[in-house]
Structure 1
C-alpha cells in the first residue's frame, strides 16, 4: 500500500489500483486532467493517465481514404503547404528491392523550404539570446511578409532573418543591440542595418525609439551590479539626456557611461551596519563587453558627463567618496 498517494493494489487474480479507504469503489477516469478518482470519496488515486485514442471518431461507412486521427506535427500557417511530414515509401521501380524515397522532397516547394530554413535560423538565434516565443513568432511573421512581397531581392535570407529578429525585439519592448544580434548571426552588422531600414520601408511599419532605460536593467544584471548602482545609473542617464549633456550620443553609449560613473563612487549599502563600501566598480572595458560598445566610446560620453556629475546623481544618493574624486576624464 502506498500511503502517500492513497492507493493500494489488490492481490489475487487481478492486480488493479484501488482507493485505500474504499477498495471496492469504482474509479472514475478524468481523461482531461489525466487523473483516476475514487467515486466514493473523490480522492485522486492515480495521475498521468495517457489517452492513446484518436482525436476524432471514425465510422466504418465514412472512413474512406482519409483518416482524421491525430498524427504528425502541428500545421504551420505561415507555410504554403500544410502537411510537412516526411513519408518514406517505395520508389518508382517495381523491383523486389525496397527503394525508399523522401516524398516531401517532391511535394515541398522551394519557397516553403526557404521559409523553414529561415524560421529555424530565427529560432536558433532567439535561443542563444534567451528570447521568448512571442518574439520568435513576430519575427517569423515579418520574414513571411517580406518573403511573400519579394521586397528584398538580392539580399540573403540570413540577413533578412536577423533584421526581422531585431525589429521583433524592438516592437515587443525588449530591444537588443545590433551587435548582440550580430553575435548570434552569420551576417555582418552593416548588412543587418541595411536590411533593417529596407524592411521598415517595404512593410511601412515602424519601431519605437530606444531609450537608456531599455538596456539598463539587463546591462546591470549581466555586470552583477547592486540594485542601488542600477538605480543611480538609470537616473544619471535620464538626467544627462534631459540636460542635453550628451548630444548626438546613442542611448547605448550613454547608458554604458552612466553605469561606469555610478559604479565608481563606492556606494555605501544601506542594509550594512558598517560603513563598508560595495565592490561594484567596473572598468569601461568590462561594461563595453556587455553593452557592445567600445571602451573609447564610453570614455567619450563619460568625459561629457563628468564635469556636471553633481547634477546627475539623485539627491538622496549615499556616497562613500565625494563626486569630486571620480576618475579623471
Structure 2
C-alpha cells in the first residue's frame, strides 16, 4: 500500500480481500462475480450440489448410436431428479400466476413431504405439484380457484382435485374454508371496478350468506353474483359474461345465484351506498 502523493510505503504485507481475478468491465456498483455456483437447496438430499455436465457439440461427445457420452442422470439419483422436475413445474406455474416466492417455497415443501411419504405413489407428479400449489395458496391466505391452477397446469381439474383430497388425507394437514371475501378484491381489481363497488359487493355477498339466500352455492359464484348486483346498481356496470370470464364461472351460474339474491336486493346493499340505478330498476334475473 503506497501513498499516491509522496510514494511512502504504508504497508508491504497487506492481504487483498477482493476477488483473485481481474475484471475489465465497469462493475464498481455491482458485486463481484461468484464462482461457488447457485444457492443450496435444502429440500434435495445432495443439497443441490450434484454435478451437471452439459451436452457437448463435437463428435467426441456422442457414441456410435448418436447418444451423448455424458449424462446428467448418472450424477443425480432418481428421487432428487423427480423432485427437481416437480420444483421446476411449480416454479413455472407460480410465475404464470404471479405468485410470490413464499408460496412457491411452501408448495415445494409440501411436495417433498408427499414424495417422502410415498403415500401417493403411482400418481402423476404434475398432478401432485399442482395440488400442492393450490394448498399453498390457501394456506397463505391468497387462494386460487381450481380453474386458475388448471389453466397454468398440464393436468385436468378432476385429477388435481383428487390429488388435493389425497394430500389432505395423508399429510393430515388442513386448509381454511374459502369465503367470498378471499376472491372479491382480486376479481374487482381485474374488472377495473372502484373500491366503492368492491365494498358493496363484499357486503352483499356476506349478507346473502348470512340470510342463507344461496345455500349450496360455491363462494366463487356467490362473489361473482354479488359483483354483478353491485356493478348493476352503480355507474360502472359489468355484464355477467365479463364477470364470468374473470371469475372462471359460467354466465348461467352467475345468473342462477343472482336470481336467488334478487328478491332480497333491497336488504343486501349497505346503507351508505349511492345508487346510480335504483334497486327496483336492477336487471331482472
TM-score under structure 2 length normalisation: 0.84
| TM superposition shift of 1:107 | 2.1
Residue in structure 1 matched with residue 159 of structure 2 by the alignment: 191
Structure possessing the higher radius of gyration over alpha carbons: 1
Q: How many residues align?
A: 257
Alpha-carbon contact 2:222-2:257 (below 8 Å) kept = yes
Residue in structure 1 matched with residue 282 of structure 2 by the alignment: 326
Moved more, 74-83 or 183-192: 74-83
Residue in structure 2 matched with residue 150 of structure 1 by the alignment: 118
Choose from 189, 200, 215 the match for 1:221.
189
Aligned residue for 1:102, secondary structure, equals coil
TM-score under structure 1 length normalisation: 0.73
| TM superposition shift of 1:105 | 2.5
Choose from 216, 241, 249 the match for 1:285.
241
Aligned residue for 2:214, secondary structure, equals coil
Query: In the TM superposition, what are the counterparts of 1:210-249 in structure 2 within 5 Å?
Result: 210-249=178-217
Structure 2 gap segments, 5+ residues each = 11-15, 19-26, 63-67
Alpha-carbon contact 1:80-1:112 (below 8 Å) kept = yes
Deviations 1:284-313 (A, max 9, x none): 111111111111110010000000000000
Residue in structure 2 matched with residue 42 of structure 1 by the alignment: none
Residue in structure 1 matched with residue 52 of structure 2 by the alignment: 86
CA distance in 2, matches of 1:88, 1:162: 29
- Structural RMSD (CA): 2.5
| TM superposition shift of 1:104 | 3.6
CA distance in 1, matches of 2:217, 2:53: 56
Deviations 1:130-168 (A, max 9, x none): 000000000000000101111112210110000000000
- C-alpha distance 98-117 of structure 1, shift in aligned 2 (>3 A): closer
- C-alpha distance 85-74 of structure 1, shift in aligned 2 (>3 A): farther
Alpha-carbon contact 1:72-1:85 (below 8 Å) kept = no
Aligned residue for 2:149, secondary structure, equals helix
Residue in structure 1 matched with residue 131 of structure 2 by the alignment: 163
Residue in structure 1 matched with residue 225 of structure 2 by the alignment: 257
1:181 aligned onto 2:149: yes
Aligned residue for 1:176, secondary structure, equals coil
| TM superposition shift of 1:87 | 3.9
Choose from 205, 216, 240 the match for 2:173.
205
| TM superposition shift of 1:113 | 0.8
| TM superposition shift of 1:84 | 2.7
Choose from 283, 301, 314 the match for 2:257.
301
Query: In the TM superposition, what are the counterparts of 1:307-318 in structure 2 within 5 Å?
Result: 307-318=263-274
Alpha-carbon contact 2:61-2:70 (below 8 Å) kept = no
- C-alpha distance 316-159 of structure 1, shift in aligned 2 (>3 A): same
CA distance in 2, matches of 1:134, 1:108: 26
CA distance in 2, matches of 1:304, 1:187: 34
- C-alpha distance 78-236 of structure 1, shift in aligned 2 (>3 A): same
CA distance in 2, matches of 1:294, 1:50: 52
Deviations 1:218-249 (A, max 9, x none): 00011111111111101100111111111111
Q: Which has the higher helix share?
A: 2
Q: Which has the higher strand share?
A: 1
- C-alpha distance 328-105 of structure 1, shift in aligned 2 (>3 A): same
Alpha-carbon contact 2:107-2:135 (below 8 Å) kept = yes
CA distance in 1, matches of 2:61, 2:142: 53
